């Protein structure tokens, strides 16, 4: 009887889970429309990870209500090249109230979407921007191709900035160890034990 009851409970749960659609809240959607296949972090966690690993950080600042952001998101989310390159970055995106307030995150204005590249010390690299875009809004990106160009540039300029432990140094020449000739050592002579009386000293 218990087996039959378990069967009905399992069947009921299966039917409920497959018939009733489950909505995922925006809080659980770390990609915020930019792609769930990317490994996303919060800005706070991303800065720590970047510092620890030496990987550069890529920060996308966008808004849920922004038309330009809505047009950009699916292009970036579907880009296989951006996804592949993202493995070399600590990926962060901030939406709405998550936008960082410090001036360094708006180097030439607070427009959106804007994409910034930071070194492992958390410094915005102002030399890495959309070279094909509007020079007034250098960090504005409208498609995945321009982002991929900047990702490649960031990797060339920043790369990984930490030295891995036990890394081999191929460029150094190691001198061979000199082999010393074997020397013959004479055995220690054993002296006879002599007894000395205290008054003879």
At 30 the pLDDT is 79
On the question of pLDDT at 5 being above 60, the answer is no
Q: Is residue 70 part of a domain?
A: yes
Structure tokens at 111: 């427009």
Q: What is the mean pLDDT of the chain?
A: 78
Query: What sections of the chain are H helices per DSSP?
Result: 2-19, 43-53, 67-77, 80-86, 144-157
Q: Is residue 3 part of a domain?
A: no
Given CA atoms 139, 145, 148, 152 in this order, what sign does their dihedral have? negative
Do the beta carbons of residue 72 and residue 62 sit within 8 Å? yes
**Higher-scoring residue by pLDDT: 51, 163:** 51
- CA 120/CA 143 separation, integer angstroms: 26
Query: With bands split at pLDDT 50, 70 and 90, how would you rate the model's confidence at 192?
Result: low
At 167 the pLDDT is 40
Do the beta carbons of residue 30 and residue 94 sit within 8 Å? no
Q: Is residue 193 part of a domain?
A: no
> In the chain, pLDDT over 90 holds for what percent of residues?
62
- Asked which of 1-5, 92-96, 119-123 is least confident by mean pLDDT, the reply is 1-5
Q: Is residue 162 part of a domain?
A: no
Identify the three-state secondary structure at position 192.
Answer: coil
Q: Is residue 42 part of a domain?
A: yes
Query: With bands split at pLDDT 50, 70 and 90, how would you rate the model's confidence at 33?
Result: confident
On the question of pLDDT at 13 being above 80, the answer is no
**Cis amide bond preceding 113, omega within 30:** yes
Identify the three-state secondary structure at position 42.
Answer: coil
CA-to-CA separations, 171 to 107, 127, 160, 168, 176, in angstroms, rounded: 40, 31, 19, 9, 16
| Number of domains present in the structure of the chain | 1
Q: Is residue 126 part of a domain?
A: yes
Q: Is residue 115 part of a domain?
A: yes
Q: What is the pLDDT of residues 58-90, one digit of tens each?
A: 999 999 999 999 999 999 999 999 999 999 999
DSSP 150-185: HHHHHHHHT---SPPTT---TTSPPPPPPPPPP---
Tell me which residue range forms the domain holding 78.
24-157
Q: Domain containing 73 — which CATH number?
A: 3.40.30.10
Q: Is residue 69 part of a domain?
A: yes
Query: With bands split at pLDDT 50, 70 and 90, how would you rate the model's confidence at 20?
Result: very low
């Amino acid at each position: 009887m218990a087996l039959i009851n378990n069967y009905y409970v399992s069947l009921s749960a299966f039917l409920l889970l497959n018939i009733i659609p489950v909505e995922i809240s925006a809080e659980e959607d770390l990609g915020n429309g930019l792609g769930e296949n990317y490994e996303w972090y919060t800005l706070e966690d991303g800065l720590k990870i970047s510092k620890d690993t030496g990987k550069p950080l890529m920060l996308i600042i966008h808004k849920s209500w922004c038309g330009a952001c809505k047009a950009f998101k699916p292009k970036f989310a579907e880009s296989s090249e951006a996804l592949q390159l993202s493995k070399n970055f600590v990926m962060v995106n901030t939406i709405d109230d998550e936008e960082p307030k410090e001036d360094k995150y708006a180097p030439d204005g607070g427009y959106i979407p804007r994409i910034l590249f930071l070194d492992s010390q958390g410094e915005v690299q102002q030399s890495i921007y959309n070279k094909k875009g509007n020079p007034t809004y250098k960090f504005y990106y409208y498609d995945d191709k321009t982002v991929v160009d900047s990702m490649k540039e960031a990797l060339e300029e920043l790369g990984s900035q930490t030295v891995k432990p036990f890394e081999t140094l191929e460029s150094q020449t190691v001198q061979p160890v000199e082999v010393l000739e074997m020397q013959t050592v004479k055995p220690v002579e054993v002296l006879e034990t002599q007894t000395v009386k205290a008054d003879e000293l």
